[in-house]
Amino acid sequence: MKDQIKKVLEEVTGINSPDVEFASDTKFGDYSTSIALKNKDIDPEEVAKKINGKNLPFTATVVGKFINFWLKRDVLLSNLIQIDSDKEKYGISNSGKGKLAIVEYSSPNIAKPFGVGHLRSTVIGDAVANLMEAIGYKVMRDNHLGDWGTQFGKMIYAIKTWGDESQIGKSESPVTELVKLYVKFHEASEKDKSLEDAARAWFKKLEDGDSEARRLWQKCVDWSWVEFNKVYELLDIKFSKDFNEGRGLGESFFETRMAPVIKELEDKKLLKVGEGGAKLVFFDKNKYPPAMILKKDGATLYHTRDLATDKYRLEKYNPDLIINEVGSEQSLYFQQLFEIERLLGWFKEGQRVHVGHGMFLMDGKKMSTRAGKTVELDKVLVEAVERAKKLGNESTINAKAVGIGAIKYFDLLHQPLTNINFDWDSMFALEGNSGPYLQYTVARTNSVLIKAKKRKVEDVVGDTKLENEEEVILRTLIKFPEVIQNAAQSYSPNLLCNYLYDLASKFNAFYAKYKRIGSENENFRLALTNGTGQVLKNGLKLLGIQTPERM
């Protein structure tokens, strides 16, 4: 509808691409434009008069310099029928049809626990992928595992110096044992700086194919996947089969694919030797600090492996868009990476996107694996399910849906860049902006419809008298497709969360005030209940959250 309003405004005012946004409040209509505020020669009253003289699905009113647009009653009621017709497909569009997006997210580190702090990339990335699919993109989901790098030199050194492989393998949580060794290495290296050189030497052996280094590295990978599989099963997260049968292509996959990238950088005269012998890419006018591609000893870095990763994706899939969901502290790193890929001619402006997220904090402080201060995610997820049971969800299926949904929604309702303090009470609040509150609202709509048994949604268009609470719900429902579009294009699942909470709040206000079954407007109110429940379910599904039939 926004596009139609913009087109009419262009015709009436002669101004290209006028601004049109959702109205700040339903009392001001459905959409609003400040075109008359920005262009003093435009008379808003005259513009509204011309618009209202046309046979359009909306009318215009003026408040000060703002022109507000109100969708007509028959449009709102027809949309209610459309929701019932489309059901789970309502809100889906094809604006991205024919385009391919690769979304990289989660990407935990081998030999480290899947901590609560790593939850954000997994949940936000999955929601962004869902939103891109909802606007028509073909989406490939990749899990770029951190299974390579200097940290494995540290891990191998620690295992050989202090570890017992048989005991690690027998442990219920082998990753916990690996973390103890990792922490021990850092404690020891603070006293003996030579350990860092020893670790670098082991990583160089790993890169050179040393059999002992490779054996211990593979052990770390296998031990880690025991935990990863538990976490992904609980979160209901899956990756594309194209990428290592759904495990994702880790950094190690690109070990043999880095040499051609390095050669291309050299051929295009982008790789320079810096002080000390390391090889770097320098940017014109010092746009960014130099990006190191090879260390002085010839060892590779993250940039080397990520360039090889994107070269592989370009040659094999030729995506229109690659999205990396990684912590916001890596912002400069991705700016450098994208600029190098642009200089190489691989991607154009806008084809590479970094969706950054803030940190999960514990008591206001950053979690740290190195310091041994982290919370293992599988334990948190299990506790979430137990807390859901205490809310009255006795069935295991319901408890899992509510518990996991509470954690996901708590993460997603925040703007991705925001730092979040881990808070159980906020996650499970049955009043306010929470997953359980939205799930309970869906269960409430289900209960009404089950009791009613019969309804004819196609009969709602007519002379139905609308109460104010009913009208604001109709005006909120019709915005759902555009909310999805906005959330997808801005990579911001929180926009969808805000919308769903607003819709649920308006429905619950209506529910508390008006009788539904047996009322004079029973059929319309049942249709309204059905439409609200369907949109809430559709929206929560895009966020990766299940909706129990009953709670």
Examine the pLDDT at 451 and tell me if it is beyond 80. yes
Q: What pLDDT is attached to residue 395?
A: 82
Identify the CA nearest to 111 among candidates 143, 162, 144, 159.
159
Which pLDDT score is estimated for 461? 59
Is a pLDDT exceeding 90 seen at residue 51? yes
Average pLDDT (18-33) is: 90
- pLDDT, tens only, 325-359: 999 999 999 999 999 999 999 999 999 999 999 99
Specify whether the CB–CB gap between 102 and 108 falls below 8 A. no
Q: Which residue intervals of the chain bear CATH 3.30.1360.70?
A: 2-71
- 3-class DSSP assignment, residue 139: strand
CATH topology for 2-71 is Gyrase A; domain 2 (3.30.1360)
pTM over 0.75: yes
The predicted model gives 130-149 an average pLDDT of 95
More confident residue, 491 or 300: 491
Tell me how far apart the alpha carbons of residues 435 and 121 are, in angstroms, rounded to a whole number: 19
- pLDDT tens, position by position, 502-519: 999 999 999 999 999 988
Condensed to tens digits (0 to 9), the pLDDT of residues 283-298 reads 999 999 999 999 998 8
Q: Return the biggest CA–CA distance within the chain.
A: 84
In this prediction, what percent of the chain has a pLDDT beyond 90? Answer: 76
Q: Which residue has the higher pLDDT, 457 or 412?
A: 412
Contact 47, 34 (CB under 8 A): no
436 touches 430 (CB < 8 A):
yes
Give kind and range of the element (H or E) at residue 140.
Answer: strand 138-142
Q: Above 60 in pLDDT, residue 222?
A: yes
Which of 328-332, 368-372, 376-380 is least confident? 368-372
As a whole number of angstroms, the distance between CA 347 and CA 9 comes to 36
- Per-residue pLDDT reduced to its tens digit, 514-547: 999 988 888 899 999 999 999 999 999 999 999 9
Answer whether residue 438 shows pLDDT above 70. yes
Paired with 109 in beta bridges are 146
Report pLDDT digits (tens) over 300-318.
889 999 999 999 999 999 9
Q: Alpha-carbon distance 362 to 366, whole Å?
A: 6
Whether 177 contacts 168, CB under 8 Å: yes
